[in-house]
Chains A and B, each alone.
Chain A
Amino acid sequence: MKSISSWGRLSHEDHHVIPLNDRQNVTNLIQAQEGRFGIAYGMGRSYGDVALNPNGHLWLTTGLNHLIHFNESTGRLRCESGVLLKDIQRLLIPRGWILPVTPGTQMVTVGGAIANDVHGKNHHLLGSFGDHVQHVKLIRTDSTEIECSPNLNTEWFAATVGGLGLTGLIVEAEIQLRPTSGPWLDTETIPYANLSEFFELADSSEKDWEHTVSWIDCMSNKGQGIFMRANPNKELKDVPKMNAEKKMPFLPPISLVNSLTLRPFNLAYYNLKKYKAGSSIAHYENFFYPLDKLLEWNRMYGPKGFFQYQSVIPRNVGQDATQAMLKEIEKSGEGSFLAVLKTFGNRESLGMLSFPEPGVTLALDFPNHESRTHKLLSRLDAIVKEAKGRIYAAKDARMPRELFEAGYPKLNEFLKYRDAGISSSLSRRLLGS
């Protein structure tokens, strides 16, 4: 038994950890033992309880880290599900191929990226991770193996992409990479004073910029923030030495993100970025994964951990709902430092439980102040529900079941593909088993 936490560090409960190292020898290891079910666990970067299963089994997939085949001329990579996105990027960018879609950290496994159908800053152009998966091999706890792809067993594929690990253990996957000219990006940083300006910037950038994202100062109720956009730089070739990673050196006794620090911090950050606004050139690791440079940054919220809250709101009510959420946050006195606002492209996701849908997505983090935080999040839930939006399960540890059901209309269809021997804290909370 081993104490396991997810990235939000909200709980530290004992799990039976079963390491998977040999893809030929998975079937026996994932069967229920003594009535205990399991769930796959990779790098533990999901914030809530999607990969937690206290007192049950966790199938540790990071030992499944083998690359299987790479076609240098088509850019098709086949690998085991525990391979890290970071390893793929570092290996193949110098060879001219890049992962089309990556989330804000590259310290995640391929299996986790599929199961949560993660998205990145280029959703408007390339959709989510699952849109580039060409094949998945699942092993189920009843020992069946299922091969699925956009053309083969397509319902299984749609259930598994974004399927929260509940359709079977993803053992292998094939991903279509994208040609790249190198690791550099041309970037632009533009301050915006309010939400209208944000939406104008987002709309006008979608056509000509591959990557768009913004940091929003949620302590200022007008919605000021910093908009960032980037395109690949086609000239610079040299691959530089990576900066060394630093580690959060200690676990502070209270959250470093608190009411005393947040306002000056946000103000300083806004003004620093505003001062440095303009064009520049950035390395992809610094632009896409800035937080990866500070290992274990999640510890800055102190021993009680933190909640992430990411919603997507349909575009027609996006601005009003975002404004309303910012107001609620301001009123509550709680605050978020890593607040990210981004528009998704006008495309539906392929997974039955995939999160991205056309609209605007706001990601927030809140130090865990227990009932105070829960109350605020419930008020945000009400706004999301009224706006017919949804919450991102990969980041969630507390959404009510009815909000999940309202947000994911294909849920009933999905349930047909569930593996009865797989269970997580999240599935028990939101699906009842």
Chain B
Amino acid sequence: MKTIKRIAIVGATSSIAEHCARIWAQQVSVELILVGRDQKRLEIVSADLLVRSPNTTIEMVVTDFIHPAAIQKTIDDLFSVSPIDIALIAHGTLPEQQDCQNDLALNYDTLEINGASPVLYAEAFAQHMAKLNQGSIAIIGSVAGDRGRKSNYVYGAAKGLVTRYAQGLQHRFADTKVSVTLIKPGPTNTPMTVAIKGSEKFASPEEVAKIITSGIESKKAVIYAPAKWQIIMMVIRHLPSFIFNKMNI
């Protein structure tokens, strides 16, 4: 039994992912693999983690988030060195809904980067973890995926796709030692949400990261972060259309 935990973070420069990395780096015997698109930004994140936790081992992988072959190769390469214990899939974008309605190319990109891309990563990790019968896959979805709303249904639809995919993976791995966790953060106070009114009241990425890392540890199937969103979204999912359609949300 090896003692060093290997953790791969896809989209490691995203705010929530970075705060998860800061928490993991404080734990003993952790190897972090930061996967991202921009070498320089990965270096900034890596240098920061090394100041915080000088004894952590950090590896950086620059890759593509869209092309299936590139995704396959990235993950195959990681496992060819040594198995991954935890995979956190955290990348994504949050454009303005209105812009997605007006610009089909942006609409498509939003669906691709927030929907297709994370599930391809999850499937690639799943291929290897299934063979080894061990590992944890955690995917960051969103409360926006729970019910389509006029304020963000393009993003929400992509996250809804991730939700169904995660359910399927959970069903597939139900009797194995592979765990699949779907994380549904509520609105979080990150660079992506700064422009939104009231964003200073949102949960901080630090709080959300704490909930995520401990939820992965306990192999929960679905984590709402913060937990209150579980109740809020239950209400929203069950509102009858004649009420829901009158709401400006």
Contacts and interface: CB of A to CB of B under 8 A. Distances in A.
Interface string B45-72: 1011001101000000000000000000
Decide if the interface of chain A is mainly helix, strand, loop or mixed: strand
A66 B45 contact: yes
B197 A67 contact: no
Contact of B194 (A19, A67, A91): A19
A70 B44 CA distance: 14
B47 A21 contact: no
B194 A68 contact: no
B238 interface: no
A41 B48 CA distance: 22
A17 B200 CA distance: 12
A302 interface: no
Interface residues of B, number: 15
Given A22-B41, A23-B44, A24-B40, A63 B51 contact: no
Interface in B1-52: 15, 40-41, 44-45, 47-48, 51-52
A411 interface: no
Contacts of A66: 44-45, 47-48
A17 B195 contact: yes
Contacts of A77: 51
B191 interface: yes
B52 A2 contact: no
Nearest to A71: B51
Contact of B48 (A2, A17, A67): A67
A233 B194 CA distance: 42
A389 B40 CA distance: 48
Contacts of B47: 66-69
A67 B51 contact: yes
A138 B247 CA distance: 47
Contacts of B54: 72
Interface of B: 15, 40-41, 44-45, 47-48, 51-52, 54, 191, 194-195, 197, 199
Given A3-B197, A68-B44, 16 more contacts: A2-B194, A2-B195, A17-B194, A17-B195, A19-B191, A19-B194, A19-B195, A21-B15, A21-B191, A63-B15, A63-B191, A66-B48, A67-B47, A68-B47, A69-B51, A91-B52
